[in-house]
């Protein structure tokens, strides 16, 4: 299936559970694109009863995925993305998906998940080592959000995390988690140099807790 962004057809992959889904998780990947590790996580979510929809925002013009050793290429293609158009398309996709929808933004995808929450397009948002969030800390989502950062992240320095934390600390339902020793990309199980199993488990359990909270609030 595909969603249109600035005239480009952007594919997404959907994994549905065996029974009726409890909620939908919209996964917005890192600058490296749709890796098999994300597909495995989508399968894991589906096995627990969640519908997982993983978009590939770069496939229309710069197909991926890219290897983790191609950081310059990944950054270059990230800069070609029409972010405003992508945000609009993701919001439209959220409205078309079975509700409720929770956005999971990874690295590049983090700001999109946060902004979708602020626009009320999703029922919750979770970010894993999301970059650039400090530039959008003035937003005030009314839905629950979680943010998981690495304490040793060289791409998202602790100063950026602190700036974001100061802006959102008063928001009810927003929580931040910092994992000491974890570098950028700590949730990428297929990237041994960056993978941090303890931090990844914390981020994964945080996402599951957020999903349960969203479902519980929907049923109230």
**Which domain, by its residues, includes 84?**
2-219
Q: Following DSSP, what letter does each residue of 28-87 receive, concatenated?
A: E--TT-S-HHHHHHHHHHHHTT-EEEEE-TTTTTS-----TT-HHHHHHHHTTS-HHHHH
> What span, in angstroms and rounded, lies between the C-alpha atoms of 118 and 120?
5
pLDDT in tens, 50-92: 999 999 888 766 777 898 899 999 999 999 888 998 899 899 8
pLDDT for 47: 97
Any idea what the CATH number is for the domain that residue 186 is in? 3.40.50.1820
Residue 107: per-residue pLDDT: 96
Contact between 130 and 106 under an 8 Å Cβ cutoff? The reply is yes
Q: What is the pTM of this model?
A: 0.94
* pLDDT tens sequence across 113-158: 999 999 999 999 999 999 999 999 999 999 999 999 999 999 999 9
Q: Count up the domains in the chain and report the number.
A: 1
pLDDT tens-digit series, residues 185-208? 999 999 999 999 999 999 999 999
């Amino acid at each position: 299936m595909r969603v249109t962004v600035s005239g480009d057809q952007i594919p997404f992959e959907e994994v549905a559970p065996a029974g009726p889904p409890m909620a939908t998780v919209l996964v917005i990947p890192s600058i490296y694109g749709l890796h098999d590790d994300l597909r495995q996580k989508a399968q894991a979510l589906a096995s627990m009863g969640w519908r997982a929809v993983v978009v590939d925002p770069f496939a229309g013009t710069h197909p991926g995925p890219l290897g983790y050793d191609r950081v310059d290429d990944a950054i270059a293609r990230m800069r070609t993305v029409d972010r405003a158009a992508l945000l609009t398309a993701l919001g439209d996709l959220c409205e078309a998906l079975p509700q409720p929808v929770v956005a999971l933004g990874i690295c590049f995808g983090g700001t999109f998940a946060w902004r979708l929450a602020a626009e009320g397009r999703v029922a919750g948002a979770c970010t894993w080592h999301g970059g650039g969030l400090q530039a959008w800390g003035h937003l005030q989502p009314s839905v629950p959000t979680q943010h998981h950062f690495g304490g040793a992240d060289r791409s998202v320095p602790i100063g950026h995390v602190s700036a974001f934390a100061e802006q959102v600390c008063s928001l009810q339902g927003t929580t931040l988690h910092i994992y000491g020793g974890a570098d950028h990309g700590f949730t990428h199980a297929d990237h041994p140099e960056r993978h941090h199993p303890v931090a990844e488990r914390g981020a994964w359990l945080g996402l599951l807790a957020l999903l349960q909270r969203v479902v519980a609030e929907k049923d109230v």
